[in-house]
């Protein structure tokens, strides 16, 4: 047992039967059950979901206030449902609440998949994609309920998330990287002959500089978000593999210090931030696809702030009357 520095602490209370007993979920995490209150099976795993719930409401309000596409408002409702489902699951450790928690993750990722792959597609393709993704979500729901194997859910979620993120990365590069859309003199002449609008060289240079700057910030957001996801996953796996030792350490250091050794709670915090960043990225990318970069800007003064895509008024100022910041 490691020697911890002598700090004032409160001894951990013993676990006891809770209001929601018995446990019926197929998963039970490393946090001890009902040690803090009889009304919450895993108090830290429960309250860390408040971040999800707050950011979900923040995102919904931002979509309405700034006129973002409705698919992202729906995605934020899904994000809010994930946090609410996880809150109820860790409070009760009941199987129905476990399904709400885990399956809402699948449904929200399917929504983001639709947002990524349906853009600018013909109506028939969008309908087919909607039916295909709905069918996939139903299949995962029924098969997971039949198997009751968390590994199946985790693999399905990881695969869907990987597909969506890689697709968004590809779209981002093709849309914003100047070298992929560089207009040669031959292209300019061909567009003129067809009666199409040809941007001046000065305007093209402005767009190249603007979009290169946006692209750089987007890549930072992607790396930051993925780092939060993977870091949270790593900490959670330490929790899974060394649970006996970690529980012992918690009881040595006592409360409140043992809170910082709750690996699954860190998973909630870090994935909550990562998922929020992904939706923000998706919103900004959609405005870029619509060639509306000059109508919106990213408010993100420091990396520890929660960013927001804000619409400018026609004068080029934000809702507080301040001039647009550089993206």
Instruction: Say whether 90 counts as a known binding-site residue.
Output: yes
Going by C-beta distance under 8 Å and a sequence separation of 6 or more, which residues neighbour residue 247?
30, 32
Residue 185 is assigned to a ligand binding site: no
Angstrom distance (rounded) from CA 296 to CA 324: 9
285 closest CA partner among 161, 127, 112, 96: 112
Q: How far apart are CA 63 and CA 280, in angstroms?
A: 10
Which residues neighbour 24 within 8 Å (Cβ) at sequence distance 6 or greater? Answer: 93, 94, 95
31 is an annotated ligand-binding site residue: yes
Q: Is 29 annotated for ligand binding?
A: yes
φ/ψ (deg, to 5) at 35: -85, -25
- Three-state helix/strand/coil letters over 187-213: HHHHHHHCCCCCCCHHHHHHHHHHHHH
**H or E segment and range at residue 308:** strand 308-311
Q: How far, in Å, CA of 259 to CA of 265, rounded?
A: 9
Task: Consult the annotation and say whether 300 binds a ligand.
Answer: no
Residue 268 assigned as binding residue: yes
Binding residues for Zn(2+): 90, 264, 268
Binding residues for Ca(2+): 29, 31, 42
Binding residues: 29, 31, 42, 90, 264, 268
């Amino acid at each position: 047992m490691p020697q911890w520095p002598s700090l004032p602490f409160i001894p951990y209370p013993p676990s006891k039967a809770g209001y929601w007993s018995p446990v019926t979920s197929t998963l039970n995490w490393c946090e001890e059950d009902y040690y803090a209150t009889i009304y919450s099976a895993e108090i830290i795993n429960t309250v860390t979901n408040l971040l999800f719930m707050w950011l979900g409401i923040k995102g919904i309000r931002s979509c309405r206030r700034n006129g973002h596409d409705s698919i992202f408002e729906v995605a934020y409702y899904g994000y809010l449902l994930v946090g609410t489902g996880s809150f109820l699951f860790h409070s009760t450790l009941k199987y129905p609440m476990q399904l709400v928690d885990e399956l809402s993750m699948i449904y929200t990722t399917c929504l983001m998949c639709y947002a990524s792959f349906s853009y600018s597609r013909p109506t028939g393709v969008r309908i087919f994609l909607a039916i295909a993704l709905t069918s996939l979500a139903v299949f995962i729901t029924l098969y997971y309920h039949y198997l009751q194997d968390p590994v199946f859910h985790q693999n399905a979620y990881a695969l869907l998330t990987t597909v969506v993120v890689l697709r968004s990365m590809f779209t981002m590069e093709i849309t914003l990287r100047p070298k992929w859309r560089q207009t040669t003199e031959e292209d300019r002449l061909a567009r003129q002959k067809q009666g199409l609008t040809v941007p001046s060289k000065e305007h093209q240079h402005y767009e190249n500089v603007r979009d290169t700057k946006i692209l750089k910030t987007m890549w930072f957001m992607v790396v930051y978000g993925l780092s939060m996801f993977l870091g949270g996953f790593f900490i959670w796996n330490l929790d899974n593999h060394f649970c006996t030792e970690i529980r012992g350490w918690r009881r040595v250091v006592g409360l409140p210090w043992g809170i910082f050794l709750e690996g699954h709670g860190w998973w909630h915090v870090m994935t909550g931030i990562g998922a929020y960043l992904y939706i923000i990225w998706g919103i900004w990318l959609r405005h870029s696809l619509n060639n509306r970069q000059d109508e919106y800007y990213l408010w993100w003064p420091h990396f520890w702030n929660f960013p927001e895509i804000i619409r400018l008024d026609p004068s080029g100022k934000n809702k507080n009357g301040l001039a647009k910041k550089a993206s």
